[in-house]
C-alpha cells in the first residue's frame, strides 16, 4: 500500500495555486510515482522538495516532461536554471529536485552573482557593452537614473 501523498504548497500563495492546478488536472495530479522522481536526474536522487525552476528548450527536451509537476508559464528570455545559459523561450515549471540537483541549480546562481549578475553574464548586455565601448558607463548611469 502506498502511503498517502503529502502535497507541499510551501505555505505560499503561488504554492497553493500550483497545488490547485495540479490536482484539477488529470495529467499533473500528484501521485506516488511523481513524488518519488527527481526532475533533474530522473529518479537517481530522492527529491527533497518541489520548487519553481526556469528551463530552456534544450534541457527540457533532454529531461522529458514526465516528472514535471506542472508547467507554470512561458518566459521569453532568461537564464536556464539547469545549464546556466541565457536563452530565448524558456518555460517556468514546478518540479521536484533531489539535493544534488538543487545544489547544481543554486551553483548556477552563485556563478551568476559572482560574475556580476545580469550585466556581466547575460550575452545580450555583454554585447551591448561591447557595442557602446567607452560610452557604456555613461549610457548605463543615464538609464539607471543615476546622474552624477
Residues lying near Zn ion in the complex (CB under 5 A) = 38, 40-41, 45, 56, 59, 80, 82-83, 98, 101
Nearer to Zn ion, 19 or 59 (CB): 59
Q: Find the DSSP H helices in the chain.
A: 13-24, 32-35, 57-63, 99-114, 118-121, 123-132, 136-143
Nearer to Zn ion, 21 or 58 (CB): 58
State in angstroms the smallest separation of the CB of 97 from Zn ion: 6
- Per DSSP, the three-state class of 75 is strand
Nearest residue to Zn ion, scored by beta-carbon proximity: 80
Nearer to Zn ion, 21 or 45 (CB): 45
- Per DSSP, the three-state class of 98 is strand
Amino acid at each position: 500500500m502506498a502511503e498517502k501523498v503529502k502535497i507541499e504548497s510551501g505555505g505560499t500563495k503561488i504554492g497553493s495555486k500550483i497545488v490547485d492546478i495540479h490536482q484539477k488536472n488529470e495529467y499533473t495530479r500528484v501521485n506516488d510515482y511523481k513524488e518519488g522522481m527527481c526532475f533533474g536526474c530522473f529518479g537517481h536522487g530522492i527529491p527533497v522538495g518541489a520548487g519553481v525552476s526556469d528551463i530552456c528548450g534544450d534541457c527540457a527536451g533532454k529531461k522529458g516532461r514526465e516528472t514535471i509537476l506542472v508547467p507554470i508559464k512561458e518566459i521569453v528570455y532568461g537564464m536556464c536554471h539547469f545549464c546556466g545559459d541565457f536563452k530565448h523561450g524558456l518555460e517556468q515549471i514546478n518540479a521536484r529536485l533531489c539535493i544534488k540537483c538543487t545544489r547544481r541549480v543554486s551553483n548556477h546562481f552563485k556563478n551568476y552573482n559572482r560574475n556580476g549578475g545580469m550585466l556581466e553574464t547575460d550575452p545580450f548586455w555583454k554585447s551591448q557593452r561591447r557595442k557602446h565601448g567607452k560610452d557604456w558607463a555613461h549610457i548605463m548611469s543615464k538609464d539607471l537614473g543615476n546622474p552624477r
